[in-house]
Each structure stands twice: as structure tokens, then as C-alpha cells.
Amino acid sequence: MRHRFARRSCEARFPELQEGTTSRSIAQPAPPGAPRGHALVTLDGRYAVVERIASGGMGEVFRARDTVLAREVAIKVLHRSLAGDQAFVDRFRTEARAAAGLSHPNIVAVFDWGSVDGIYYMVMEYVRGQSLRAMLTREGRLEPAQGAEVVRQTLQALESAHRQGIVHRDIKPENVLVTTEGIVKVADFGLARAYAEGRQTQAGTVTGTVQYLAPEQIRGEPADPRSDLYSLGIVSYELLTGKLPFTGETAMAIAYKHLSGRVPAPSAAVSSIPAELDGFVASATDRDREMRPESAAAMRGDLEAIVPGLPVARTLTSIVDDDPVVLPLHADGTTTDVVSLGEAADSEEAGTTTATIARVERGKRRWWRRVLGIVALVAALLATAWGVWTYLIPHRADVPPLTGEPVDAARERLAELGFAVRIADGRYAARLEAGLVLRVQPATGTSLERGETVTIVPSLGPPPVEAPVVEGMTLERATVRLERAGLDATVARRRYDDDVPEGRVIGQRQTGTVPAGSEIELILSRGHAPVAVPKVAGDSRSAATDALTSLGFTVTIEEAFSNGVDRGDVIGVAPRAGNEAPYGSTVTLKVSLGPERFRTPSFIGLTAAQARAKAAEYGLETSFTDLPGGTGVVITQSPAPGVTVSYGDAIQLFLL
């Protein structure tokens, strides 16, 4: 039964395989004790295919064994329809070489690529784990700390690829895998670009998963690294909330929301999500790519600043299921043998299986009989269709209620009813957002013949207003100013600024004319950046004080005895030198008083004022005895010079 099924599967996939065709066979010994008829299909004489694990628009993915290097691999086999496009093949070769050059722990490695009789394939690292899509299906959503870790590792992969000039162009949960060790790996670098560019060339359209496409990709503009960051921002929203930010009845409706709407804050869907992650998602998904983080490294830096404040959650390892995802059987109980490069049949010698790659050989056929039969069948179908159209299908319909629906969805509904649709010039509506139906003509409920024209008047949203410039204002004052203009204020991010005081507006992302009721995203100052404390140990008290005050610090002095540091020099500083401290904060200098016990200095020859100042430097108390007829100069002292005294002792000075 297995032998007959393998032959039927092969013939179904390659109908041109017939007796007498030319073929190339690749023989491989069957495992000892394997039953006859159990065929192991081998690709290019090296890769033994074990099972299919996924399928998609470009082809199918199989788990296989590299018989040369004795390791498990994943093989993506492209559809034959793509191999017929020479432009795609050229791009595939170029992008495959580039992808093979990527080497990073967070990127699925590409080991090999090639073609066998028009079948193009790519050999990749086999990842044991699950895709983000499978995890979201099972978990619903991830905790903030879990989602942040997935995004952080994905950014590391993008950072490495972008440095080498490679843009993924199709970041989505299906292309992000998590291993059983909790390592995130991004797949399909290069292949996504070759496929997307091939579709653009063939049909003049944009190819990709519209839920994750950046606005510039939808407009047909070239993608750059910031396009990947937008897509990852959408994935971040989905990881945190378990749902997509934009949905619609059609791809066009979703694309319009990417172009005209803003990604809502994740906390609006899940209230426990911190506000910092709201700002992170908003920054990554800005419609203007110039307002997004400038690179994957910058975006990762923003995220890593948020992570320490997130609630602790289970590790990725604990939520990854290591069972591979296996496609279900067909209804008849058979499986589709996608890499059935040929039929496997028993060879003449026991213990050998053969995989055959067929070559097309066209025979002479009596095609004219088939043409006549097809013509007769088409004529009968046309006659039947005319009768059904004329006598059974109704030809009138009522204009449905469409106010408030997306314009594209309304257009599709009217087209399904058989009406011709005209889109009139839009009009402003204070309570209806842009892109929705304001009204239709004729009015709702009017009965029309199919084919008649229904005009849709779209809403342009609230009338435009001039956004006031609020840079330099406090947040409270800026909010009041914007509200007076009919706009809302929201804080997009906060950053250090050496010139703008903390709490004041550094900049705003929307200027000029904007729709009334729009949110104006503000960037607030966190004040001056922290300053590193300089090394001043060993400097004099005055020099150290000048160095610290020039950096904006306030200086306080503590004095202490020291046998190793000269009197009046700095012993140390707190905070310690090299550490960062807030701008304007207080730094304490510890200044040496010299040793606590020392030899008495000489005061002979000094005036009373000079002697008093010198004694203060050594921490000695002074008393003076005036001798008659003197000029006020010290002539002797007690204790005498050189006698050991302690800090705070008194010294008797005699003036003559």
C-alpha cells in the first residue's frame, strides 16, 4: 500500500512523469531491517527528507538530515511557479548569498542553497521550538517582561542584519522563532525580500502581510531598516495585548489604517501594561519613519532602559513547547508529499530505495478532440448561465445603510449588490473620523436597478486647525495651550537635554495644520544628563572646589586628619570619582587637616595677626603676652619649636 501511495502522490504532483521519461536517480541504502517499499526521498543526493513542518506562499519547509555532516536541517523548497520567473531566480541567488553571510545567534543560519531540475531550495538551521504565532495562539498574550525579552533579542538580530545592509521586510510572528532554551531567532532573511520584489515586478503591487507593513511599504516606497522597526512595533503590540492594532474586512481597509491612523496604546487594551511600553510602541510605529528610532540599536537601548522596571514573569524557556508543529492530514487520511521529487520504488537489489527527479518529455497528443469537447461544454455553460441570469437572479436592490463604515468596505458591499460606485470629494465632519462614509446618494433604502451608480461621500475627519508651537513650555502650560486649539497633548517620550530644564517640552512631532481633536505627541526634557564626578584627590581644596562647581555641582567640605595627605589637600570625594551624579547635586570633599600629632612650628618673627593665622592652619589655640616696650613681634614661644603637640592644643606667644 505504501508503494502504491507513493506513486500516486508523485504522479499527482508531477503529471508529466510517465513511462519512458528521462530521469536522474539518486540511490540511498535503506536502514537495516526497513520493510520493502518504505522510500526515503533524498534531495540532491545529500538531504534525506524526514517530514513536512510548515507551508506558505513561497513554498514548503521540511525537516531533513544532512547525510554528509550528519545533522538535522530545515529545507525550504520553493514552488515551481517561482522557478519560472528568471528575475525572481536571479534575486533569489543574490539574496541567498547575502543571507548565508549572516552569522548571529538570533538569526536562523543558512547553510546551503541550490536547485535540482528547476526546484530551488534553501537549507537552514533546524530550530527546535515554536514560532511566536504558535505561542500567541496558546498563551493569548505574553507578560510585559516576556514580550520585552522577545523584542530585545529580535532587535539584536535586526541590528546585525542592518549593519550588513540587509532589510528583512516581512517581520511578523510567523518569522520569529523561540527555541526551547529561550533564544529568539529570526527566519527568512533575504528570501522575503526576493519574493516581495518579484511580486512587485510581476503585478505592480506591494506584497507582504498587510497587518505588519510599514506605511512607506504600502505606498510603494523603498523599505529601509526603520521599516523593520515599524513591523516589530506592531509585533510588540500584539505580544503585549494578544491582538492586532488594526483590523478590517479587507486588506485595503487595514492598509488605510496604517496610512492614516495611530497605533493605540497597549494599556488601552490591557490596563496593567506600564506607560513606558506605551511610549516604546508609539515611537516604533510612528507613521513618519523620520520620527522612529534611528536604528535597531537605538530602539534596543530605549527598551533596555524600561526592562528593569517591569514586573518579574516566567522565563521564555518555561512557556516554549518543544513539540514540532506538524501539518494535519487531509480528509482522506493521506498526507501531501510536497518534496516528492520522484516516486520511490523498490530497486532490483534489496535494501536500496530510489528518489527519481523527472524530466519532461512531451508526446504527440490528439489535442483537437479535446478542443471540440471544451468548445461544446463552454457553449452549454453559457446558455445555462444566461437562463439563470435572466429568470432566476433578481436585478434590483436597496441601498444599504453605510454611514460610519470604512469607505473601502462600503465600496465592496455596494459592488456585491451589483451597483457601480463613485467616490465623491470628501467633506469635513466634526464627529466622524477620516476614511468613513459620511453619506450616500441616493439615500439609504432607495431601490435601484443593478448597475446603477451609488455615490459615496467620505468624511475628511474634523476640520483642520493650526497646531500651536509649545516648545520650551511646561507640560501643564503646553496642555492648556493645545486644548484651547482643540487638540490633545500626549507625552511620546522623555530624554535628557543639557539646555532645557526638566519637565519642559523639547519638541513636538506634529506641527502645522492637523485635524481637530488630534493628539500632539510631545517630547519632554528629563533635565541635564547626569555628570561624572571628576578625580580631585590630592588637589588643593580651592582647585577641587573650582573643578566641581564648573561642572554644576554644589560643594560641601568635611575635614579629617591624615598622615599621608598634606594639610589643605583633598583626601577623597563622595560620590566616588568616576560615578555619575545628578546635575546640580551636592558633592562632599574630604580635606586633610594633616596629622593629629605634629611638631610645633616656629612663630618667632611673626606679628600677632600672622601668628594667629598660622596657628589656625595647624589647629592650635593661641594666647599672647605683650612685653613692655615691644613692637608686636613674637620673640619666643611655649612650647618651643619642634616640641610634639596635638591638634587643638594651646600655644603661648610672647610679643616684644
Specify the higher pLDDT residue, 23 or 554.
Answer: 554
Residue ending a domain, choose from 592, 623, 645: 592
Residues 586 and 642 in one domain: no
Residues 21 and 43 in one domain: yes
4: amino acid identity, one letter: R
377 exposure class (CB count in 10 Å sphere: 0-12, 13-18, 19+): exposed
Above 90 in pLDDT, residue 82?
no
* pLDDT of res. 389: 53
CATH of the domain at 244: 1.10.510.10
Distance CA 43, CA 428 (A): 62
Residues 90 and 175 in one domain: no
DSSP 600: P
For residues 453-464, average pLDDT: 89
Residues 181 and 276 in one domain: yes
* pLDDT of res. 350: 29
Residue ending a domain, choose from 564, 592, 620: 592
Residues 200 and 272 in one domain: yes
Grid cell listed for 223: 523599505
Residue 607 lies inside a defined structural domain of this protein: yes
Instruction: Say what percent of the chain tops pLDDT 90.
Output: 51
Dmax (CA) of the chain: 150
Residue 260 lies inside a defined structural domain of this protein: yes
3-state secondary structure of 509: coil
Residues 243 and 255 in one domain: yes
Instruction: State in Å, rounded, how far the first CA of the chain is from the last one.
Output: 131
445 exposure class (CB count in 10 Å sphere: 0-12, 13-18, 19+): exposed
Residue 45 lies inside a defined structural domain of this protein: yes
Residue 579 lies inside a defined structural domain of this protein: yes
Which pLDDT tens digit goes with each residue over 261-313? 899 999 999 999 999 999 999 999 999 999 999 999 999 999 999 999 999 99
| 288 is annotated as an active-site residue | no
* pLDDT of res. 196: 46
Which pLDDT tens digit goes with each residue over 333-388? 333 333 222 332 233 332 322 232 232 333 334 455 567 767 777 766 776 665 55
Residues 60 and 149 in one domain: no
DSSP 473: S
Specify the higher pLDDT residue, 127 or 386.
Answer: 127
Above 90 in pLDDT, residue 108?
yes
Above 60 in pLDDT, residue 562?
yes
Q: Of the ranges 142-156, 320-334, 402-416, 637-651, which is most confident?
A: 142-156
Residue 158 lies inside a defined structural domain of this protein: yes
Work out whether the CA dihedral 132, 136, 141, 142 comes out positive or negative. negative
Q: Say whether pTM exceeds 0.75.
A: no
For residues 553-578, average pLDDT: 91
Residues 138 and 85 in one domain: no
* pLDDT of res. 429: 84
Residues 604 and 576 in one domain: no
> Half-sphere exposure (CA, 13 Å, Cβ side) for 67?
16
Distance CA 607, CA 656 (A): 10
Which pLDDT tens digit goes with each residue over 391-424? 555 568 889 999 999 999 999 999 999 899 999 9
CATH of the domain at 123: 3.30.200.20
For residues 608-621, average pLDDT: 90
**Closest CA relative to residue 256, chosen from 423, 101, 392:** 423
Q: Could you list the residue range(s) of the whole structural domain that residue 507 is in?
A: 464-525
CATH of the domain at 494: 3.30.10.20
How many domains are there within the chain? Answer: 5
Residue 403 lies inside a defined structural domain of this protein: no
Grid cell listed for 145: 517582561
Residues 57 and 160 in one domain: no
Q: What is the DSSP string of 220-252?
A: TPPP-HHHHHHHHHHHHHHHHHSS-S---SSHH
Residues 83 and 162 in one domain: no
Residues 175 and 52 in one domain: no
Catalytic residue among 85, 90, 112, 170: 170
Strands 519-525 and 570-574: unpaired
For residues 472-479, average pLDDT: 94
Residue 42 lies inside a defined structural domain of this protein: yes
Which pLDDT tens digit goes with each residue over 227-256? 999 999 999 999 999 999 999 988 889 998
Above 50 in pLDDT, residue 7?
no
For residues 80-108, average pLDDT: 81
